[in-house]
Structure 1
Amino acid sequence: MSHPFENLPTTPTAEEVVDKAFSRATRAGGAKEGVEAQQSMLMTASNIVSDNLQNVAQSWPTIDELDPFYVELADAVVGEAYPSEDDPGVDALKQHLSEVSWAGRKAKEIRQEYEGRLVRGDKDTARKLRKQAFARIADVVEEVEGDLAAVSTARDALKGLPDIRPDEPAIVVAGYPNVGKSSFVNRVTRADNEIASYPFTTTQIRVGHFEDQRIRYQLVDTPGLLDRPPEERNEIESQAVSALEHLADAVLVLVDPSEECGYPLAQQLELRNDIQSRFDVPVLTIANKSDRSTDVEADHYMSVTEDDNVEGVLQAAVDAVGYELELPFDDE
């Protein structure tokens, strides 16, 4: 199962839609004569414009029906993609899609308006009317040129989202840089870890997977988001953290009591406190580098480099999630 935006088709430009419609209409008209040729051209052009524009709108999932994680994340991503919009998030995207859908319907209405008039005239009159209809259809497509471009921008941004599955239990790993988050994720997850970038950050997230009791867990490392105080996050990053609140079933906050990471322990614990206040799931404090210092009150202590209690921490995370696999059973 891929994420809901991964397979969105390429969005054509307004010029591509018009060129395709009119070139095919010309070929369709060349196969016939007189008024019938003009009718065939009009129907072909209208259908191609209508189908292409409607396909753009209908290929998108109904955003409000998606898991809240993806609604929030899409809002953040599209907000970054539309910096000049008055309402830059998914509401703007929905409006652009609505305009494109309107243009598709309008192209069909123009064809219906001219069809009856074409059959009542002679060949020259039919040609003039068909040209009028073509001009109006082209104007309609041109009217949504900016909407098509905006949809294309959003599509390109959203396709790059990492494949995170809200229906599978997720453990978010947080903490300041250099406390051992990535080492922990690499140590306990499979070799096929996916590394993907949030489109609105310069850093990467890591999504690792492991299985326990036939249940697949996602372990999400979040550099660029949950690795610094909330006041240092921009609006888009803060919204992405809100998305993670919908995703997380438990959070591991790694701290380095030795302070070799370069951040004072008090500062690390402040970040932990903020995460505890935001996430309505179990938040475990994990003291890493226990071979160097255990001078902090924590839920668990480990040393990834010394392979000390790493599996114990992972099991504690699984226990905190408390996920139960639904199994078929007999009612007898």
Structure 2
Amino acid sequence: MKSRQAYRDPTAVAEKIHVPTYEEILERIRSRYPRRAKTLYDREVAALQRTHDIVISKTDFVKQLAALLDFLHPFYWRLIEIEFDRDRIHKAVKCISRGRKLASKLFEKYRFLLMAAENKRELVNTGREARGRILSLFKKCRRELDYLRDLVVFIQRLPAIDATLPTVIVAGAPSSGKSTLVGNATRAKPKVAVYPFTTTTIHIGHYTMPNGKIQVIDTPGLLDRPVDEMNEIERRAVAALKELNGIILFLVNVSPNAYMSVERQFDLLSNVRRIARGKPIYVALNKVDNPDPESLEEARKKAQVLLGEGVIEAVYETVAADKEKVSRLMESLAEELTSKAQRPG
């Protein structure tokens, strides 16, 4: 079982990591090249020492990055794998780590070769060869440095999930009211618009209770299709549904302008249930202040059937745009989270 370190905020850790380009390393070495020395030997030794010290210090980030990746929560790995290849990440880390070890070995080897040089020409050629071989180790990893640089920037921009907090994952079809609900339940400011597919990434908010707070997660809208056919935006929602502990609030839009029919939204609910792997699901029929009467009645019947079968935990009716109604809904969900946390097992 992973320690609590596995659930630290990777964005804060990534903010402290700087991955240089090969050109930055090269420029640093050139700018610090020793200009004065008592003897040619002293100059060559100093140049070798400087080259070694700079490539080691500039690539020291790899130790912190490797530790971060080792203890990364599965949720973050799933988000990363949408954009990056996991095997390539590990190969890139290995390339830099191997370069560091070999650079230190070459440094020790060439220090003695410089001492053994018999004339000035041999001394200069040995020093040039030593520096060239050390730099070539990282020149070979040039693309890997760029790849890890992009990865670190990506991690810095990820949402800061706290996997230790009680969590409500808000899911549903496009335009079901997820972002409006999260915006009214918390201080989060997800983008809200009248057109579908507005939410393209994960948004985090917090609902404050008398004895603590609940993490509320706004996920991108899903279409009713297999995971392997989903686009990058939908797979971000899947990452939250699969990897984060908590309960799922599934919104069903019963208004006349719903993006999907009630039947298709409940088909999507079945897909979400498979993705969520046993997490408790709560259904909220949204926009009941101005519903399509037939859609509302159909949704009520379908929800009651699922409730009777034990597929869902409860059914609510709400208006995501109404802060008072959203507050009552969150109070009910908070009670559910508290009672579930107190149950044994």
Match 2:319 to one of 282, 286, 303:
303
Question: Shift of the alpha carbon at 1:151?
Answer: 1.0
The 5 A counterparts of 1:217-232 are 217-223=214-220, 226-231=221-226
Match 2:29 to one of 14, 17, 21:
21
Residues 108 and 22 of structure 1, relative CA distance in 2, 3 Å threshold:
farther
Match 1:74 to one of 72, 80, 98:
80
For the 8 Å contact 1:259–1:265, the answer to whether it is kept is no
Residues 111 and 6 of structure 1, relative CA distance in 2, 3 Å threshold:
closer
Match of 1:111 in 2: 107
Unaligned runs of 5+ in 2: 1-7, 192-197, 304-314
Q: Deviations over 1:102-126 (max 9, x none)?
A: 1122221111111111112244422
Match 1:95 to one of 74, 85, 91:
91
Question: Shift of the alpha carbon at 1:133?
Answer: 0.7
Match of 1:292 in 2: 290
More helix by share: 2
Match 1:187 to one of 174, 184, 188:
184
Q: Deviations over 1:278-324 (max 9, x none)?
A: 21211111011222344122411112345564233212222332365
Please tell me the root mean square deviation across aligned C-alpha atoms, in Å: 2.6
Question: Shift of the alpha carbon at 1:233?
Answer: 1.2
Q: Deviations over 1:248-268 (max 9, x none)?
A: 401111112234223211011
Structure 1 residue matching 2:202: 3-state secondary structure: strand
For the 8 Å contact 2:10–2:68, the answer to whether it is kept is no
The 5 A counterparts of 1:162-181 are 162-181=159-178
Match of 2:5 in 1: none
Match of 1:56 in 2: 61
Question: Shift of the alpha carbon at 1:11?
Answer: 1.6
Counterpart CA distance in 1 for 2:49 and 2:322 is 72
The 5 A counterparts of 1:1-332 are 2-4=9-11, 6-27=14-35, 30-53=36-59, 55-60=60-65, 61-78=67-84, 88=85, 90-121=86-117, 122-190=119-187, 193=188, 195=190, 203-223=200-220, 226-231=221-226, 233-234=230-231, 237-238=234-235, 241-279=238-276, 280-293=278-291, 294-295=296-297, 296-297=299-300, 298=303, 299-305=315-321, 309-322=325-338
Match of 1:81 in 2: none
Matching residue's letter, 1:142: K
Counterpart CA distance in 2 for 1:236 and 1:179 is 16
Structure 2 residue matching 1:165: 3-state secondary structure: coil
Counterpart CA distance in 2 for 1:109 and 1:311 is 63
Unaligned runs of 5+ in 1: 79-87, 326-332
- Identify which range, 201-210 or 177-186, moves more after superposition: 201-210
Question: Shift of the alpha carbon at 1:195?
Answer: 4.8
Structure 2 residue matching 1:161: 3-state secondary structure: coil
Counterpart CA distance in 2 for 1:195 and 1:159 is 19
For the 8 Å contact 2:255–2:287, the answer to whether it is kept is yes
For the 8 Å contact 1:252–1:283, the answer to whether it is kept is yes
Structure 2 residue matching 1:59: 3-state secondary structure: helix
Q: Percent identity?
A: 24
For the 8 Å contact 1:76–1:237, the answer to whether it is kept is no
Residues 38 and 307 of structure 1, relative CA distance in 2, 3 Å threshold:
closer
**TM-score after normalising by structure 2:** 0.79
Counterpart CA distance in 2 for 1:181 and 1:276 is 17
